[in-house]
Amino acid sequence: MSELFEAVDALVASRSPLPPAKERKRLRVAHGLTLDEVAAALKVRRATVSGWESVKKPTEPRGPEREAYARLLNKLAELYPAPAVPKEPAVPAVPAMFTGAPAPAEARTLPTGQAPDAADMTAPENTQTPAPAPVAAAPAAAPRPARTTRPSSTSRRPGAKQAAPAATPASKTDPRFENGPLAVVDVEDGQVLAYCTGGLVLDVPAKSLPALVDWTLTEARLGQPRLSGPGKDADPLLVLTEAALERYGLPVALTDEERLAGRIPEGHKVIKQLTRAEWKLTKRGFGPWARIYRPAQGSERACVQLCIPSWHALDSRHWDTAGQWPPADLARVLGVYASRVMTPRGSTAVTGLELMTALHPPTRASEPDADGKRHSEHNPGSLGKDPVDPAPCEAPDGHPLLADLPRFHVRGPAEKLFEEAYDWARPMTDAECTRRHLVGIDVNMAFAAGANGLNVGLGAPTHVKAPAFDPKLPGSWLVDLSHVDLSRVKVGKDTWADLDPGLLPSPFTPTGEHPEGPAWYATPTVAYAVELGYEVRPIEAYVRYENGRYLDGWYHRLRDAYLATMADLGVHADMEPADFLAAMEGYKERDPELAIVVSAIKATVKGGLGKLRERPRGEGWRPGEPWRALSRPTWRPDIRAAVISRTRINLHRKIVKHAAFTGQYPVAILSDCVVYAANGPSPLDFLPYREGKPLPGGFKLGINPGLVKHEGTQSVLWGEEVRERFNAPELNLARYIKDGTVTDVDNGE
């Protein structure tokens, strides 16, 4: 009998009532629980708990997990009861004769929804850059709009646009793209649906992939206006779920062979369908980011971009598990990114590079000639439409310019420009070992800040012998900086400081080692030697007389996107230091979807700069032969080197100012993370704030690019134990300061 009672109890528990998804999330956040903690307690995956809280299309737990989850929510509801909702005053009924005309019957059957008001954003105080431009508000994850009886196939329209957010003026909405930049295509109950931004859902009548492309270009009203006058409108983006792939005859996952090739075979039946319909694919074929197009007719483009998450289009390092999310949630994440950065064109790295071109197109329309016709001409301030060769010192190993070098020749500093981010560490002093904590601080958007206001070359380099150094002229300089002595440096107009050079990295090498003899440096590095009070005499140089601040618009766009998204997460640009540190604690849990957008924006910065020096990617390449990336005008290793040089110099300048004022020196530096020994666990325990004001020219807490945040804190004993365990007194602790996890793999053993 007891077994029967237990079976009945289990059956009842399997139908335990649960609150709505929004309330589930509220209760978890109110108790300070993370998705990982709940998943571990219930012995399910993190994505499973996230699906239970998805307000647009929540999944429901079953069996023993449902009983345990219901018990957890009931306990939390006792601790955190829902706030009372004030009753709204009664509104007198309006006679029918005074109401507006009803909407057409067809429009009433289409999806509708309500978008949230735009989040209030405060412009950052930054005297070096203009205030951020208005940025689209992040749409809330509202429940999916209800759909009633659909119109007949002969009268079906793509869908009705729901009300725009209050902060989005209707005059700024391009009617050609009124349904947003993209849609996630899914299949539900046999019906193909397109989930757009803002909660809009469109019925899709297309029965094949060619028909889907036609529908997208003729009826869907998807896309994004150009980012600059001479540019091009962004092509619509369709994200295909696994159900949509099955519906349109595509594989749900790629085979190992297809994954290595990056595409499905050219003889696939879907590609044959596209060919019969006179659609073309780019040279990369039909892969995770496929482009389907017809040759442009005049200024009219006919192109659709596909994104296929199950083919690993969305890198989990930057997009986490977004590719596995319900369509509405995925549409929200990609929609926010598209509205604030641009419609994704591929990986975040590809999009970062495409953003540069979108803001500075290579050509523009000329003034009318004698016959009143306009022609294509070079767009001033752009990189042009033709690639240029780098200087030999800027070319990476294997470049065609170096084909005459002996096969196993290793170029030294006097032959090769080597501007990279810091990877430096030193043993701790006796005084530092008496302190209790190692505190890491991280520079926000460090490489974006390094690009801000930077003068870079736009054209080909010019070789000059024994030039006079010009800090305003971008280029690569062969100069001996071994005479620069860090024991005495200039830290102000007429102010010199005495420092301990044994506790400082050299600003001229990524390893922090002092240079020996002549070496190639980018302009910002040589300019810093002059700033420190030392004379420089270049031996030769490759300079670029055609130059400009090519990356300014790119920086502003990404900065504004970053600040707006962080503001949506409760971290604003005008916070006091203590409030800022508190706001940064657990900010990702406030809205995991927007936290992924932040991650993608950061990856867009680093990846875009990395693409400026893209190396061969297989393709049967051999040293001395050209590779595909060299055909792009945006393959510019000199621009990448200049940005990294300036970023490293910016960091060293702050370190020197901090050391001169406080006598404190870094223990380790990795890229944009700096570790100091301190008596307390907070950055405020060693950063010299006076009456809430930071050291001029030093580190400042804040969310703006170039300011710093708390990266992590570990004990000094932890640091000494780790170095002793691996017998590495100079192990870079900045690599592990965030969570303290160190493994043999991490140490490269």
Give the pLDDT band of residue 44 (cuts 50, 70, 90): confident
* More confident call, 12 vs 464: 464
Q: What is the pLDDT of residue 74?
A: 87
The candidate with the shortest Cα–Cα distance to 672, out of 454, 435, 510, is: 510
| Residue predicted with more confidence, 20 or 746 | 20
What is the band of 154 on the pLDDT scale with cuts at 50, 70, 90?
Answer: very low
pLDDT reading at 123 higher than 60: no
Instruction: For residue 57, name the pLDDT band (cuts at 50, 70, 90).
Output: low
Backbone dihedral region for residue 727 (phi beyond 0: left; psi -120 to 50: alpha; all else: beta): left
CA distances from 210 to 256, 275, 380, 416 (A): 26, 9, 39, 50
SS3 676: strand
Non-local CB neighbours of 538 within 8 Å, separated by 6+ positions: 466, 467, 468, 469, 477, 478, 479, 526
User: pLDDT at position 15, please?
Assistant: 60
Cα 585 from Cα 570, distance rounded (Å): 10
| pLDDT higher than 80, residue 164 | no
At 119 the pLDDT is 34
pLDDT at 747 over 50: no
In this prediction, residue 539 carries a pLDDT of 98
- Backbone φ and ψ for 737, nearest 5 degrees, come out as -65, -25
Per-residue pLDDT at 3: 60
d(CA 513, CA 745): 25
In 3-state terms, what secondary structure has residue 708?
strand
Query: What integer is the mean pLDDT of 299-325?
Result: 93
Instruction: Give the pLDDT of residue 492.
Output: 84
State yes or no: pLDDT of 215 exceeds 60.
Answer: yes
Q: Which residue has the tokens 């006792």?
A: 78
Question: Is pLDDT larger for residue 204 or for residue 167?
Answer: 204
How far, in Å, CA of 701 to CA of 706, rounded?
Answer: 10
Q: How confident is the model at residue 135 (pLDDT cuts 50, 70, 90)?
A: low
Q: What is the mean pLDDT of residues 643-656?
A: 98
Only one residue has tokens 């032959």, namely 415
The pLDDT score that the predictor gives to residue 475 is 97
What is residue 743's predicted lDDT score, i.e. its pLDDT? 74
**Is the alpha carbon torsion for 191, 194, 197, 200 positive or negative?**
negative
The DSSP call for residue 501 is G
Burial of 694 per CB tally in 10 Å (0-12, 13-18, 19+) = middle
Mean of all residue pLDDT scores within the chain: 86
pLDDT at 153: 29
The predicted model gives 324-334 an average pLDDT of 95
- Please check the confidence at residue 129 and state whether its pLDDT lies above 60: no
Q: Which of 415, 664, 448, 444 is nearest to 518 (CA)?
A: 415
pLDDT at 740 over 70: yes
499: its two tokens: 């420092």
Band (52; pLDDT cuts 50, 70, 90): confident
Q: What is the CA radius of gyration of the chain?
A: 29
Q: What is the pLDDT of residues 389-403, one digit of tens each?
A: 999 999 999 999 999
Q: Identify whether the C-beta of residue 742 lies closer than 8 Å to the C-beta of residue 722.
A: yes
* pLDDT on residue 174: 83
- pLDDT score at 375: 82
Most confident of 34-48, 117-131, 615-629: 615-629
pLDDT (tens digit, 9 = 90+) per residue, 404-427?
999 889 999 999 999 999 999 999
pLDDT at position 345: 95
Tell me the one-letter amino acid at 367.
E
Q: Is 695 exposed, middle or buried (0-12, 13-18, 19+ CB in 10 A)?
A: middle
Model confidence at 226, pLDDT cuts 50, 70, 90, reads very high
Q: How many CA atoms, within 13 angstroms, populate the side-chain half-sphere of residue 615?
A: 6
666, amino acid identity = P
Given a contact cutoff of 8 angstroms between Cβ atoms, the answer to whether 106 and 155 are in contact is yes
Q: What pLDDT score does 11 carry?
A: 53
Secondary structure (DSSP) of 233-273: PBPPEEEEPHHHHHHTT--SS--HHHHHHTS--TT-HHHHH
Q: Would you state the pLDDT for residue 84? A: 62
Intervals of CATH 1.10.260 along the chain: 2-79
The pLDDT tens digits of the residues spanning 659-671 come to 999 999 999 999 9
CATH of domain 2-79: 1.10.260
- d(CA 613, CA 615) in angstroms, rounded, equals 6
- Which range, of 4-18, 36-50, 82-96, 599-613, averages the lowest pLDDT? 82-96
Read off the pLDDT band of 171 (50, 70, 90).
very low
Q: At what angle do helices 327-340 and 592-611 cross, to 10 degrees?
A: 50
Nearest residue to 353 (alpha-carbon basis) of 630, 643, 642, 611: 611
At residue 138, does pLDDT exceed 80?
no
Element (H, E) at 496: strand 496-498
Please state, for a pLDDT cut of 70, what percent of the chain lies above it. 84
The mean per-residue pLDDT over the stretch 343-372 comes to: 92
User: What global pTM score does this model have?
Assistant: 0.79
Check whether 708 has a pLDDT greater than 60.
yes
pLDDT tens for each residue of 541-584: 999 999 999 999 999 999 999 999 999 999 999 999 999 999 99
C-alpha span between 562 and 373 (Å, rounded): 42
pLDDT class for 156, splitting at 50, 70, 90?
Answer: very low
- Spatial contact of 718 and 738, defined as CB atoms under 8 Å apart: no
Neighbours of 741 (CB within 10 A): 7
pLDDT at 79 over 90: no
303 CA to centre of own chain: 25
Q: What is the pLDDT of residue 80?
A: 81
86: which 2 tokens? 């004030």
pLDDT above 60: residue 331: yes
Low-confidence winner among 81-90, 260-269, 341-350 (lowest mean pLDDT): 81-90
Q: How confident is the model at residue 648 (pLDDT cuts 50, 70, 90)?
A: very high
pLDDT tier at 596, thresholds 50, 70, 90: very high
What are the structure tokens assigned to 206, written together?
């297309």
Cα separation, 185 vs 517, in Å, equals 60
